[in-house]
Amino acid sequence: MSDKFHPFIPSATPPSWLGVMGGGQLGRMFVHAAQMMGFKVAVLEPARDCPAGHASDHLICADYSDEKALAELAAQCVAVTTEFENVPAQSLAFLADRTFVAPSSACVSIAQDRIAEKRFFIECAAKSGVLPAPHHIVASDADIDAIPDALLPSILKTVRLGYDGKGQARVTTREEVRAAFGKMNGVLCILEKMLPLAYEVSVLAARGADGNSVVYPIAENVHRDGILFTTTVPGPNVTAECAGKAQAAALAIIEQLGYVGVLCIEFFVLQDGSLVVNEMAPRPHNSGHYTIDACVTSQFAQQARAMARLPLGEVRQHSPAVMLNILGDVWFDGDSDEPREPAWDKVLALPGANLHLYGKDDPRRGRKMGHVTFVAPTLEQAQASLQAACAILGIAA
């Protein structure tokens, strides 16, 4: 599923230029990692005031579909990647005719469409050993009438553009499905059966252009209101059997995709211990931020290596870690609309605290503003620092 390969050079070495589509915090952290390796980075992003643009060596302020801007990015960079999955796949294909693109537009297009993603996971099942949740496509009232009884209760999701809990609704009856479908303006949806969930995990894998692959330690995630709250590695509930199965599945999926770069795959672990594949993100991922402080090679440095066709880095975790997502809510007291700076001095006084703020000037409730990763000799010590940080920031632990 790869776009055609353009071997300008066997591998890119500093001070070559790498390009990234998207100016958000993932792009910003990629810029920092690539610059640490000696690369220069160009960012293409419509908004001039963006986190990645602040850190980049060059910002091309243009729409993601602007062919003149895309041609400029391709001419400057030996390789281009994307920091989010909803960049137009056709833009990545346009770039691939002019430079090396990782991941390819074909891989990204699968992750942009929940139906295509589910079909791909089913195709992979013989090798990966995992299947997605039972599901049903909803495009009309007739599709709602045809929902099997066994599929309810479920979650109705838009097929495209949903993230962080957006474009989703929990439903228990056909009438609720019909109402939710109407609120989503009748766009193409998929209905996924709610399963007896024990916990959620994610696996980061990376694959080079030479076909070599690596897989990071499995991460256990907790979500609140559809947004990642904490990531813990090693996961306190994750058995060795579960970890091995999830990692093997991730490697099988990334291989079948013919993927180049970092790929995150999310799984549900059910109460009976079985594994269900949920979705994938064709980029570094929020749940992989712990790798910056707790692993030999961060997910962002790994992305730069894969893009530049350099050897992949070691994925060994050297310290137990807990990551806390920081939302704009912590800038506000109670129902106040007046923001004030959180007590970062107290947070940074905690053992093992590593603060990462994303350079966003406008804190808003529910907006991702940064994260804190706590590393320690033991997981219990890292968790103790997390609990203390939540108390300082006014977050319910």
d(CA 37, CA 107): 26
Q: Where are the domains of the chain?
A: 17-111, 134-193, 197-393
Please give the CATH topology (third level) of the domain spanning 17-111. Rossmann fold (3.40.50)
Name which of 11-25, 258-272, 306-320 the model is least confident about: 11-25
Q: Any binding-site annotation on 211?
A: no
Q: Any binding-site annotation on 200?
A: yes
Q: Any binding-site annotation on 64?
A: no
Q: Any binding-site annotation on 164?
A: yes
Q: 226: pLDDT confidence band, cut at 50, 70 and 90?
A: confident
d(CA 271, CA 143): 30
Q: Any binding-site annotation on 195?
A: yes
* Paired residues of 264 in beta bridges: 204, 281
Q: Any binding-site annotation on 40?
A: no
Q: How much is the pLDDT for 263?
A: 98
Q: How many Å from the N-terminal Cα to the C-terminal Cα in the chain?
A: 43
Q: Any binding-site annotation on 286?
A: no
Q: Evaluate whether 52 touches 27 at the Cβ level (below 8 Å).
A: yes
The average pLDDT across 22-48 equals 97
Q: Any binding-site annotation on 241?
A: no
Burial of 231 by CB count in 10 Å (0-12 exposed, 13-18 middle, 19+ buried)? Answer: buried
CATH number for the region 197-393 comes to 3.30.470.20
**H/E element holding 300?**
helix 299-307
The average pLDDT across 337-356 equals 96
Q: Any binding-site annotation on 183?
A: no
Q: Evaluate whether 282 touches 303 at the Cβ level (below 8 Å).
A: no
Q: 1: pLDDT confidence band, cut at 50, 70 and 90?
A: low
Name which of 191-195, 257-261, 362-366 the model is least confident about: 362-366
Q: Any binding-site annotation on 278?
A: yes
Residue 3, pLDDT above cutoff 80: no
Q: Any binding-site annotation on 162?
A: yes
**Per-residue pLDDT reduced to its tens digit, 62-83:** 999 999 999 999 999 999 999 9
Q: In CATH, which of 3.30.1490.20, 3.40.50.300, 3.20.20.80, 3.40.225.10 is domain 134-193?
A: 3.30.1490.20
Residue (of 249, 388, 245, 226) closest to 322 by Cα position: 388
Q: Any binding-site annotation on 333?
A: no
Q: Any binding-site annotation on 194?
A: yes
Residue 119, pLDDT above cutoff 70: yes
Q: How much is the pLDDT for 335?
A: 84
pTM score? 0.94
Q: Any binding-site annotation on 4?
A: no
Q: How much is the pLDDT for 139?
A: 95
Q: Any binding-site annotation on 193?
A: yes
Residue (of 105, 212, 213, 114) closest to 155 by Cα position: 114
